[in-house]
């Protein structure tokens, strides 16, 4: 589903990704772990299409198509979804208005009919309930005044409603207490599907107890330096990232 | 030595000739005619305001007004002209219509006025020397203002409206100004609204261009509000794209009174909306706001002077300007707090959003504070759409243009949401959406 070959990325003349290779198959949950500053968020932004990063070399293939020349919305229409590490607040745009706009924009891009209001409401209610998001939150400005945990749940709500095929979760666990973490993990687990792949980025092993990955990759200094099964996460938890910092430096 | 004579532009010369030729034909005699002469003397002495006049620094009328258009006659097809207007059509209101500045009785609901409201067409009021006209022109901080003086010299028609003490009007009054013609013209309508003690009234004011020729509009609405009054005012400038449109709202607010005036501007090649407000009684509050949308080479100026002359009054100003293309926005807001005006609470904010590299905003908020126990603040911002927000929205699937439109709507919404009347609010929001939809 996702294949990244020799990705080299700079920002403001500073090299962040250094010939990164990564493959995630359909149905797979892949985890990326790594120390702060190793380039995990950069990788997620570059896949989603953030402009300010300069891609010097390499390719990102989604179902065999290089998406690097596509606009972020075109990537979204092909099923790429990024749950942000720091979701943004948009005052003056109610969460409901926003959800309807993004759902219909993606449907339009795929030449599907717009959702009727009752159908839209039904879907939002059902998805919100599973994530313990109350109706009052949906009426507020998007993410405005939401706690860190509420913002993360709102990201998962959007993921559930958009039904993307390739989901990136950037440190969705940060700032969550254990109850919120379980709700979010449950939200993700129900979306696991043979046709859908996940890239779960995290600094800590904790999240991976709840979203059990098929593969674990260790990232350091803008590269994948080691790959393995879920046991690799436990090993990292015990030994920390010190080895990898040195190895990469 | 040669005598120094001021150099007049062609437009200034034409304006002077026009006044001399018209002054005996304009309605009113005696005190009213003297008032016209006095007002015109100001204009003859100073000429059209230009960039060297501080108040008009960013809106140079001498440069913009190349020819002074003739004062509009009452159009023969006045009713048909009014029928082309669409603004605020859904709002439940009693309508007073003006075509090229002239009152149009056949399109005004004079027979259906709510109890407590009396309306006299201004031309008739001026001709008969109506005693309530003595209430005109009392706002000190507006004295000497060019647009107001020009209107005072040329005012040809309009309305004199009296809302009797204690009246609570359930329907809005819609002042519907419609401008259109086949050759250039100028207008100078004046509406004077006297709101007596304890009365409350909602006033909607729309200005629409429906013709082909460029015109020069210069409307004045004066509100004299007594004690314990509530006035809710909403305004739309949808003037023709090539019009020059000056407008003034001058208000005297009594004690324990409340005035809200909100508006939207989309029209005119050059427009200037002025608000002069004097607090004349304690414990009163004011909310002023607006949303201005500009593109092409439009120029729109919002100029406010809020005069806190008495203690214990609040004022809130929130103005939003969105500028695309090579357009220019101007915001000048002055809050004056006189020595006696202790416990004044004044907050003014002007925020502009530039949608193109060639858009310009001139922001000039000012506080003149002469009292020590007050809370006043002002702010002015000018920026572009936030790229991080745009990325967030596009990454969720919104095409860039939709993402921008959503953010602009949210930006303007903060001001438009304050409009109380639902039909008017929805129309202004829809007009903002329509404006965004026209972005290439
Ligand atoms: N917009 C930016 N401008 C400059 N440097 C950046 C920017 N974004 C990230 N970086 C740098 O790139 C490196 C990797 O950052 P990031 O991708 O956020 O790492 P991680 O998510 O693994 O903590 C860091 O050294 C960070 O300072
Ligand atoms: Mg990160």
Tens-place pLDDT, residues B197-230: 999 999 999 999 999 999 999 999 999 999 999 9
The pLDDT, as a whole number, for residue A249 is 41
Residues of chain B with pLDDT under 70: 1-6, 440
B46: exposed, middle or buried (Cβ count in 10 Å: 0-12, 13-18, 19+)? middle
Closest CA to A142 of A62, A88, A65: A88
The residue among B390, B396, B413 with the most chain A CBs within 10 A of its CB, best to mutate, is B396
For residue B14, how far is the Cα from the chain centroid? Answer: 25
Q: How far apart are CA B319 and CA B291, in angstroms?
A: 6
Q: Where in chain A are the domains?
A: 2-248
> Could you say which DSSP state residue A113 is in?
P
Q: Are B294 and B320 in contact (CB under 8 A)?
A: no
Taking contacts as CB-CB distances below 8 angstroms, the residues of chain A near B406 are 90, 93, 98, 101
The pLDDT, as a whole number, for residue A128 is 95
The answer to whether B395 contacts chain A (CB < 8 Å) is yes
Length of chain B: 440
Closest CA to A75 of A58, A59, A62: A62
Q: Are B309 and B341 in contact (CB under 8 A)?
A: yes
SS3 label, residue B169: coil
| Nearest protein CA to atom 9 of ligand 1, as residue | A42
Beta strand B172-179 with B185-186 is unpaired
Q: Does A88 sit within 8 Å of B392, measured CB to CB?
A: yes
Q: How far apart are CA B270 and CA B93, in angstroms?
A: 29
Within 6 A (CB) of ligand 1 lie A 11-12, 14, 16, 34, 36-42
B390 Cα: distance to centroid of ligand 2 (angstroms): 19
Please name the helix (run of DSSP H) or strand (run of DSSP E) that holds residue B324, with its range, or none.
none
The pLDDT, as a whole number, for residue A205 is 86
Taking contacts as CB-CB distances below 8 angstroms, the residues of chain B near A141 are 410
Taking contacts as CB-CB distances below 8 angstroms, the residues of chain B near A76 are 394-397
A34 Cα: distance to centroid of ligand 1 (angstroms): 13
SS3 label, residue B109: coil
SS3 label, residue A213: coil
SS3 label, residue A218: strand
| Complex ipTM value | 0.95
Give the gap in angstroms from C-alpha A228 to the nearest C-alpha of chain B. Answer: 30
Q: How far apart are CA B122 and CA B133, in angstroms?
A: 9
Token pair 């020590």 is found at B372
CA closest to A77 among chain B residues = B397
B383 Cα: distance to centroid of ligand 1 (angstroms): 25
Closest ligand relative to A86 C-alpha? 2
Between A and B, how many CB-CB pairs are < 8 A? 73
Report the sign of the C-alpha dihedral through residues B32, B34, B36, B42, in that order: negative
The pLDDT, as a whole number, for residue B379 is 95
Q: How far apart are CA A105 and CA B399, in angstroms?
A: 8
Q: Could you name the CATH architecture of A2-248?
A: 3-Layer(aba) Sandwich (3.40)
Q: Give me the residues paired with residue B281 across strands.
A: none
SS3 label, residue B190: strand
Give the gap in angstroms from C-alpha B346 to the nearest C-alpha of chain A. Answer: 24
Q: How far apart are CA B352 and CA B328, in angstroms?
A: 11
Phi, psi of A106 (to 5 degrees): -70, -35
Q: How far apart are CA B427 and CA B88, in angstroms?
A: 7
Q: Does B387 sit within 8 Å of A158, measured CB to CB?
A: no
Written as six digits, the tokens of A181 are: 């973490």
The pLDDT, as a whole number, for residue A242 is 76
Q: Give me the residue from B400, B409, B413 closest to A71, CB to CB.
A: B400
The pLDDT, as a whole number, for residue B3 is 54
Token pair 């932004």 is found at A45
The pLDDT, as a whole number, for residue A243 is 73
Q: Are B219 and B189 in contact (CB under 8 A)?
A: yes
The total of other beta-carbon atoms located within 10 Å of residue A196's CB is 19
In percent, the amount of chain B with pLDDT more than 70 equals 98
Closest CA to A44 of B392, B407, B399: B392
Chain A residues within 8 angstroms (CB to CB) of chain B: 48-52, 71-73, 75-77, 81-82, 84, 87-88, 90-93, 98, 101-102, 105-106, 109, 141, 158, 162
Closest ligand relative to A45 C-alpha? 1
The pLDDT, as a whole number, for residue A248 is 46
Q: How far apart are CA B285 and CA B346, in angstroms?
A: 10
Token pair 């709101």 is found at B195
Give the gap in angstroms from C-alpha B352 to the nearest C-alpha of chain A. Answer: 16
Q: Does A82 sit within 8 Å of B397, measured CB to CB?
A: no
Written as six digits, the tokens of B375 are: 């809370």
A242: exposed, middle or buried (Cβ count in 10 Å: 0-12, 13-18, 19+)? exposed
Beta strands, E only, B164-212 = 172-179, 185-186, 189-195, 200-209
Q: Are A105 and B399 in contact (CB under 8 A)?
A: yes
Token pair 């702010």 is found at B379
The pLDDT, as a whole number, for residue A112 is 93
Phi, psi of A79 (to 5 degrees): 105, 10
Cβ-Cβ contacts under 8 Å for B8 (sequence gap 6 or more): B16, B47
Q: Does B391 sit within 8 Å of A90, measured CB to CB?
A: no
The answer to whether B357 contacts chain A (CB < 8 Å) is no
pLDDT in tens, B295-305: 999 999 999 99
Cβ-Cβ contacts under 8 Å for B124 (sequence gap 6 or more): B27, B130
Closest ligand relative to A85 C-alpha? 2
Taking contacts as CB-CB distances below 8 angstroms, the residues of chain B near A73 are 394-400, 403
Closest CA to B320 of B280, B350, B275: B350
Atom of ligand 1 at shortest range from CA of A43 = 17
Closest CA to A39 of A53, A60, A25: A53
Residues of chain A with pLDDT under 50: 248-249
Q: Does A90 sit within 8 Å of B392, measured CB to CB?
A: yes
| Nearest protein CA to atom 27 of ligand 1, as residue | A37
Q: How far apart are CA B117 and CA A31, in angstroms?
A: 73
C-alpha distances in Å from residue B99, one per residue of B132, B186, B187, B203, B250: 24, 12, 9, 18, 22
A41 Cα: distance to centroid of ligand 2 (angstroms): 4
Taking contacts as CB-CB distances below 8 angstroms, the residues of chain B near A48 are 391, 395
What separation, in Å, do the N-terminal and C-terminal C-alpha atoms of chain A show? 31
Cβ-Cβ contacts under 8 Å for B140 (sequence gap 6 or more): B278, B307
Taking contacts as CB-CB distances below 8 angstroms, the residues of chain B near A106 are 397
Q: Give me the residue from A87, A109, A141 closest to B397, CB to CB.
A: A109
Written as six digits, the tokens of B128 are: 């008969």
Phi, psi of A216 (to 5 degrees): -130, 130
Token pair 């939207």 is found at B264
């Amino acid at each position: 589903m996702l294949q990244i070959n020799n990705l080299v990325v700079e920002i403001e003349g500073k090299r962040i990704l250094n010939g990164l290779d990564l493959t995630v198959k359909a149905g797979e949950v892949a985890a990326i772990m790594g120390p702060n500053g190793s380039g995990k968020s950069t990788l997620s932004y570059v896949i989603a299409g953030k402009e300010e990063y300069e891609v010097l070399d390499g390719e990102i293939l989604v179902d065999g198509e290089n998406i690097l020349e596509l606009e972020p919305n075109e990537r979204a229409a092909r099923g790429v979804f990024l749950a942000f590490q720091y979701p943004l607040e948009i005052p003056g745009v109610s969460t409901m208005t926003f959800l309807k706009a993004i759902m219909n924009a993606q449907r339009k891009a795929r030449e599907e009919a717009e959702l009727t209001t009752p159908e839209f409401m039904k879907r939002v209610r059902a998805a919100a309930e599973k994530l313990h998001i109350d109706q009052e939150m949906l009426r507020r400005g998007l993410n405005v005044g939401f706690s860190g945990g509420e913002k993360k749940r709102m990201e998962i709500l959007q993921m559930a409603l958009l039904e993307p095929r390739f989901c990136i979760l950037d440190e969705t666990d940060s700032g969550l207490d254990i109850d919120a973490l379980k709700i979010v993990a449950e939200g993700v687990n129900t979306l696991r599907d043979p046709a859908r792949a996940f890239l779960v980025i995290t600094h800590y092993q904790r999240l991976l107890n709840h979203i059990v990955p098929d593969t674990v990759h260790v990232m350091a200094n803008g590269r994948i330096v080691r790959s393995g099964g879920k046991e690799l996460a436990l090993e990292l938890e015990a030994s920390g990232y010190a080895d990898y910092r040195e190895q990469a430096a | 030595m040669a005598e120094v004579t001021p150099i007049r532009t062609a437009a200034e010369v034409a304006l002077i000739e026009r006044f001399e030729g018209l002054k005996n034909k304009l309605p009113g005699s005696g005190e009213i005619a003297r008032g016209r002469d006095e007002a015109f003397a100001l204009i003859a002495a100073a000429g059209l305001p230009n960039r060297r006049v501080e108040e008009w620094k960013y809106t140079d009328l001498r440069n913009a007004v190349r020819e002074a258009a003739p004062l509009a006659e009452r159009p023969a097809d006045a009713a048909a002209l009014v029928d082309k207007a669409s603004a605020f059509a859904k709002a439940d209101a009693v309508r007073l219509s003006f075509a090229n500045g002239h009152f149009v009785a056949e399109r005004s609901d004079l027979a259906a006025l709510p109890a407590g409201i009396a309306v006299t067409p201004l031309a008739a009021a001026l001709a008969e020397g109506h005693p309530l006209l003595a209430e005109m022109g009392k706002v000190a901080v507006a004295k000497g203002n060019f647009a107001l003086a020009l209107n005072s010299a040329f005012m040809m028609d309009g309305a004199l409206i009296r809302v009797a003490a204690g009246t609570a009007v359930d329907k809005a009054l819609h002042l519907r100004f419609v401008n259109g013609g086949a050759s250039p013209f100028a207008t100078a309508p004046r509406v004077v609204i006297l709101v007596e003690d304890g009365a409350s009234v909602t006033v909607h004011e729309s200005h629409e261009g429906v013709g082909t020729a460029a015109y020069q509009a210069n409307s004045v609405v004066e509100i004299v509000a007594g004690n314990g009054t509530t006035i809710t005012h909403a305004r739309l400038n949808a003037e023709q794209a090539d019009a020059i449109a000056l407008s003034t709202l001058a208000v005297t607010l009594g004690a324990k009174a409340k005035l809200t005036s909100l508006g939207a501007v989309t029209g005119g090649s050059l427009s200037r909306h002025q608000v002069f407000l004097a607090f004349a009684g304690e414990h009163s509050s004011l909310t002023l706001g607006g949303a201005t949308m500009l593109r092409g080479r439009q120029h729109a100026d919002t100029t406010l002077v809020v005069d806190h002359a008495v203690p214990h009054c609040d004022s809130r100003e929130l103005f939003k300007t969105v500028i695309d293309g090579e357009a220019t926005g101007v915001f000048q807001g002055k809050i004056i707090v006189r020595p006696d005006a202790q416990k004044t609470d004044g907050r003014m904010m002007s925020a502009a959003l530039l949608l193109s590299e060639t858009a310009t905003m001139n922001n000039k908020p000012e506080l003149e504070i002469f009292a020590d126990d007050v809370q006043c603040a002002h702010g002015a911002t000018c920026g572009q759409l936030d790229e991080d927000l745009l990325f967030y929205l596009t990454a969720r699937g919104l095409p860039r243009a939709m993402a921008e439109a959503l953010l602009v709507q949210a930006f303007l919404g903060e001001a438009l949401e304050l409009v109380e009347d639902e039909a008017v609010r929805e129309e202004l929001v829809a007009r903002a959406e329509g404006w965004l939809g026209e972005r290439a």
